[in-house]
């Protein structure tokens, strides 16, 4: 009887291993529980497929296919240059780790498109701005586009210094500094006719600005950029101190991971203790949000009830960045971050399109029934790719 039972179990496992991938609805009906931990092979395949998707989505003119419906092939008319810059950041990360020549070529094409169409003089002399739309509309500018543009273009400069002069990068840096207040905080939007917009603050722009300034410092070694980044992150830490829950500011975690090694060599305008406390605050808030035992098993590892992929990928990026500097003594927190990272990585792997014309793409949500859920946007792919790259570096470095 026992032998027969084991044989049946083995047969079921073999059949399940050979079965084709099920749709979201089929998983719901059959109650299939996903594998808890992704393998090296799965993560490597996902990275390669996402890389190919982004590289092919970047046209010869350097413009990305911004958003596409894989069911109809219809493309969006709108375009976000900030998300264009984010896709460049993903390509740069890929090239940095894998020395991928296709990623480098796509990055340089995208840099050329950005420079030709969206960069222009700022509000003050010796400034450059990444404008939210091509000329002639230069009535307002947002910090995020210039900050992420700076991150992306610094990376392009590193691949090929001829792709953008250092002087242009420094002019972009001056615009970011122009939007920083005395207390270290940043203005999110500036209008030509009225100046700083005070009634709206972006969650993500300050962390993006800090990351851009750190990247610029790593290029020209001018401490003004590093000090401004440290002041910006210090402001975030102090303004959120004592809060029981904070927003999932993954860019702040990424920038903090990039800043701290420099603070060990130079005097920084930020307390390591404050930055570490702030990072732990963010991580704890993220960990509390994760679906760890959802009613729908396929949503395990996600961060909302609809299975959106971008919130999961960005939170995963932040958690993995925090693992780079959270002290080894924080064994409990590190263990929870690692477990959460496995769940989120597996969730994103389930969401990625595995075959067909749009293989490697990442839809907006895993649930096919959600509104616009099947659409692929470059930032969905960008965040998932960056998260998978960092996951493999941190958890599987010896196996690469």
Backbone Cα Rg of the chain: 22
**How many independent structural domains does the chain possess?**
1
Determine the pLDDT at residue 3. Answer: 35
Q: What is the pTM of this model?
A: 0.89
In this structure, is residue 10 part of a structural domain? no
In this structure, is residue 25 part of a structural domain? no
Determine the pLDDT at residue 18. Answer: 31
**Six-digit token pair at 151?**
């991150």
Asked if the model's pLDDT at residue 364 lies above 50, the reply is: yes
Angstrom distance (rounded) from CA 164 to CA 108: 9
Minimum mean pLDDT range among 93-97, 252-256, 391-395: 391-395
Asked if the model's pLDDT at residue 116 lies above 50, the reply is: yes
CATH number, domain of 209, equals 1.50.10.10
- Between CA 392 and CA 397, with CA 396 as vertex, the angle to 5 degrees is 95
In this structure, is residue 344 part of a structural domain? yes
> Using 50, 70 and 90 to split pLDDT, how confident is the model at 395?
confident
In this structure, is residue 295 part of a structural domain? yes
In this structure, is residue 27 part of a structural domain? no
Mean pLDDT of the chain: 89
In this structure, is residue 241 part of a structural domain? yes
Residue bearing the bigger pLDDT, 199 or 43 = 43
Region 7-36: what's the mean pLDDT? 37
Asked if the model's pLDDT at residue 279 lies above 70, the reply is: yes
Q: Quote the domain boundaries for residue 132.
A: 34-399
In this structure, is residue 232 part of a structural domain? yes
Determine the pLDDT at residue 362. Answer: 97
Distance of CA 177 to the CA centre of its chain: 23
Determine the pLDDT at residue 336. Answer: 97
In this structure, is residue 73 part of a structural domain? yes
Angstrom distance (rounded) from CA 10 to CA 18: 13
Query: Would you say 364 and 377 are in contact if contact means Cβ atoms under 8 Å apart?
Result: yes
């Amino acid at each position: 009887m026992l032998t027969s039972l084991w044989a049946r179990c083995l047969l079921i496992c073999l059949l399940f291993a050979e079965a084709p991938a099920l749709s979201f609805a089929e998983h719901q009906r059959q109650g299939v529980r996903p594998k808890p931990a992704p393998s090296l092979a799965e993560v490597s395949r996902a990275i390669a497929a996402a890389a190919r998707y982004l590289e092919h989505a970047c046209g010869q003119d350097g413009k990305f296919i911004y958003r596409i419906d894989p069911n109809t092939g219809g493309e969006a008319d709108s375009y976000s240059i900030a998300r264009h810059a984010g896709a460049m950041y993903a390509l740069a990360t890929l090239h940095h780790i894998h020395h991928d020549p296709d990623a480098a070529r796509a990055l340089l094409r995208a840099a050329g498109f950005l420079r030709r169409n969206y960069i222009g003089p700022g509000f003050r002399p010796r400034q450059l701005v990444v404008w939210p739309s091509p000329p002639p509309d230069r009535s307002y500018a947002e910090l995020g586009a210039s900050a992420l543009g700076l991150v992306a273009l610094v990376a392009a400069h590193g691949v090929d210094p001829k792709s953008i002069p250092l002087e242009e990068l420094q002019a972009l840096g001056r615009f970011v500094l122009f939007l920083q207040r005395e207390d270290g905080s940043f203005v999110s939007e500036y209008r030509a006719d009225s100046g700083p917009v005070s009634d709206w603050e972006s969650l993500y722009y300050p962390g993006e600005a800090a990351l851009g300034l750190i990247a610029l410092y790593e290029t020209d070694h001018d401490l003004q950029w590093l000090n401004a980044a440290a002041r910006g992150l210090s402001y975030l830490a102090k303004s959120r101190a004592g809060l029981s829950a904070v927003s999932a500011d993954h860019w702040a975690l990424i920038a903090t991971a990039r800043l701290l090694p420099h603070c060990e060599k130079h005097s920084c305008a930020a307390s390591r203790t404050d930055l570490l406390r702030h990072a732990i605050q963010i991580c704890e808030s993220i960990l509390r949000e994760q679906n760890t035992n959802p009613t729908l098993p396929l949503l395990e590892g996600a961060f909302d009830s609809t299975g959106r992929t971008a919130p999961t990928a960005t939170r995963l990026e932040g958690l993995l960045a925090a693992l780079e500097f959270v002290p080894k003594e924080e064994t409990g927190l590190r263990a929870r971050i690692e477990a959460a990272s496995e769940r989120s990585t597996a969730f994103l792997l389930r969401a990625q399109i595995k075959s067909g014309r749009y293989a490697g793409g990442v839809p907006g949500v895993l649930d096919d029934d959600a509104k616009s859920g099947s659409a692929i946007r470059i930032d969905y792919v960008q965040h998932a790719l960056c998260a998978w790259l960092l996951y493999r570096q941190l958890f599987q470095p010896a196996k690469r």
